[in-house]
Amino acid sequence: MSDYYRPKGLSSAVVYADAKAAYRWLEDAFGFEPLLVILDADGALAHSEMSYGHSVVMVGNEWSEDHKSPKALGGKNTQTVHVQLAKGEDIDAHCARARSVGAVILQEPNTQFYGDRTYRARDPEGHIWTFGVTVNEMTPDAWDKASGLKTQTRL
């Protein structure tokens, strides 16, 4: 019973015109794990959740004027979701898998100044997803030196 309830933390809810198709695609493309599907009396998706590591993403249908897929908004996104792979995972293979099922790769895998290798992909309805894996653990001083930026805790 407690498997359906999450501890304190964040999860994202992503809205699609066709959430059932998106749910299947997210599993095939990104390796998200099916967690929970709730269907209404007509078999329409009422709510669904997928897991990735210790995180959950809710996948739902458009349900109001304020909850639309980028597909309905000319491809515009108001947020993107960052997904961190486990250290040692092959992000290039992850990108290739996503591409093979139709993800548009907006940024090919490359190593960032802070030590993560990342890529950015657009799903079939226009949501933008960023994936990263740590390939070089660095201190803030080291990445500041590499980038010319300044890292601090508070503004």
| pLDDT for position 2 | 55
Task: Given CATH 3.40.50.410, say whether it is the number of domain 9-63.
Answer: no
Please say if the pLDDT value at position 41 is more than 90: yes
Q: How confident is the model at residue 133 (pLDDT cuts 50, 70, 90)?
A: very high
| pLDDT for position 50 | 96
Q: What is the mean pLDDT of the chain?
A: 93
Q: Where are the domains of the chain?
A: 9-63, 79-148
| pLDDT for position 3 | 67
CATH architecture of 79-148: 2-Layer Sandwich (3.30)
Q: What is the 3-state secondary structure (H, E, C) of the chain?
A: CHHHCCCCCCCEEEEECCHHHHHHHHHHHHCCEEEEEEECCCCCEEEEEEEECCEEEEEEECCECCECCHHHHCCCCCCCEEEECCCCCCHHHHHHHHHHCCCEEEEEEEECCCCEEEEEEECCCCCEEEEEEECCCCCHHHHHHHHCCCCCCCC
Q: Do domains 9-63 and 79-148 have the same CATH topology?
A: yes
pTM score, whole prediction? 0.91
Q: How confident is the model at residue 70 (pLDDT cuts 50, 70, 90)?
A: confident
